[in-house]
Amino acid sequence: MSIPTGGIRCISKQPKRPWDKSQEEVSRSENTKRQMIVTMLAEGNPVWYVAAMVNMRSHDVYVIGCAAGYPDKVKLRRAVWAQRQLDRQAA
């Protein structure tokens, strides 16, 4: 049995609060965390160690690492090197 809603949709926009992080700040911190994970994996640290350092599940760290080329350490080092080159060009 389903509960009839009567076609009413509740769309509420909460007011911005100064203590809430903006979307840009969240994406920047997530990007920094991903870079740190890839760098630590490229240095040869095991997945479980990196997960403990960044307070994430091992599976999530593994997925981020695989996107950057893990378990091939050469691909990981290339990804880290490429990111550093982009950062230098942007500065």
Full pLDDT tens readout for the chain, 91 residues: 555 555 554 444 555 555 555 556 657 778 888 989 999 998 899 999 999 999 999 999 999 999 988 888 888 888 888 888 888 887 7
Distance of CA 8 to the CA centre of its chain: 36
Q: SS3 for 39? A: helix
Q: Can you tell me the distance from the alpha carbon of 52 to that of 71, in angstroms, rounded to the nearest whole number?
A: 18
